[in-house]
Amino acid sequence: MIVSPSLLKYRPRLRACLSVPALLASLLAASLAFAPQPARAAAEKKPGATRHKAERHPKALKVLAAGRAARGAGGKAAKAAAAAAALAAARKLEVQGEPVNFRGWQAVADFEADMVSKYSFDAAALKAVMEQVNYIDAAVQLVKPAPPGKPKNWQAYRDRFIEPVRINAGIEFWNRYADVLARAEAQYGVPAEIIVGIIGVETVYGRNTGRFRALDVLTTLAFAYPDAPNRLARQAFFRGELENTLLLARKSNIDPFSLIGSFAGAIGLPQFMPGSILAYGVDFDADGKIDLRGSPVDAIGSVANFLVQHGWRPAPGQSAVYPAQVSASRAWEGMIGQGLKATYTPEQLSGAGVTVAAALPADTLFGLVDLQNGAEATEYWLASDNFFAITQYNRSYFYAMSVIDLGRTIRQARAGGAL
């Protein structure tokens, strides 16, 4: 059953499977491995993707409903069986998706032609790839903006990450790779606790790296992005990352369908988008390849390199953030929301009624960051450019502060024993 692009708004539930001969798959692997590799521009890193709860997929919800009915009918065995069925069904749906004839869409045909023209891909092999790509409705649903009206709450966000499981896993990770983290800190000037914080927030040190085929979700979001004010810009971004996925697979001599990641296409322990792997990935274990999926050592070096390339500067003994107090005059209000960059001198901040207890480093600019707590009092912090370098990983004050807090907490717990 083939569905036209216009029917996707009805969220089709396709059940037919595309049949692709094994011979085409072999040709694909050979072509991707040996086709020429023209130079390419460095790609922009997409903000880090949030993890997906498999139970939210519409089909998985039906399985969960059946599971609830079974639990009402009786015993522990029924509960266990229902839960296992729901999880297995959701995982299968996430990875496999639904067959759609993407190759029948003019935009996809244009994409294929561009890949052949710009990067000398073999047209037949690329055709074999696109015939196997599936539509992922869960990705479409998850990129939709959250419903308006719910107040931001920094403490609730923080509690998701600063918790015993992640802290103890971080201690174990730091202990295991202490020498590597020290080498990254010496080479790049990024403290070990920041690297540990990022990998912990992103994937709990490799435990939650995603279950979607990157080609599936990136094709879906490149050509079937939901209606939104920024739809064209987001489609262009994901089209670029689809291009980067094919380039990465060819450069690494791997099956492109082996790249499994988040619902937005982020891959590996640090959840890099394919373009960021190409632009900022580091072979930190010196084994001749960059592997952010299987090499924590490469992940450590790559995170440090990404931060440096996005503005991190060595600052021994200095914090990236300082707690601040604001005056009742509210002369400082205009300093809020001035972008992801430090722009104010300590004197300017002080003159607007912003004070800190600590002595601020000389010749350093800061931004004023507000962390809202719902009905509770807002927290205010002065943030240096190193804080804003973390926001280039994920464009969120909450994200950057959770990285800092998790890394600091793990460092302190490591010194005093696991929680």
Instruction: Indicate which residues carry an active-site annotation.
Output: 202
Report the distance separating Cα 66 and Cα 86, nearest Å: 9
Q: Bridge-partner residues for 368, per DSSP?
A: 336, 382
Residue 60's identity, in one-letter code, is: A
Exposure b/e, 27-54, CB count within 10 A at least 16 = b: bbbebbeebeeeeeeebebbbbbbbbeb
Q: Quick one: which of 174, 208, 166 has its CA closest to 194?
A: 174
Report the distance separating Cα 27 and Cα 6, nearest Å: 32
All residues at 6 or more sequence positions from 116 whose CB lies less than 8 Å from its CB, including other chains: 122, 123, 126
Residue 120's identity, in one-letter code, is: S
Report the distance separating Cα 3 and Cα 21, nearest Å: 22
Report the distance separating Cα 275 and Cα 253, nearest Å: 16
**Residue showing tokens 């959840």:** 271
Helix axes 22-34, 231-252, angle to 10 degrees: 90
All residues at 6 or more sequence positions from 218 whose CB lies less than 8 Å from its CB, including other chains: 238, 241, 242, 245, 265, 274
DSSP assignment, residue 8? G
**Residue showing tokens 């521009």:** 41
Dihedral angle at the C-alpha atoms of 290, 294, 298, 300, nearest 10 degrees?
150
Q: How many other CB atoms sit within 10 Å of the CB of residue 169?
A: 19
**Tokens representing 202?**
């992103």
Distance set, CA 196 to CA 155, 327, 367 (Å): 21, 35, 24
**Tokens representing 13?**
């539930």
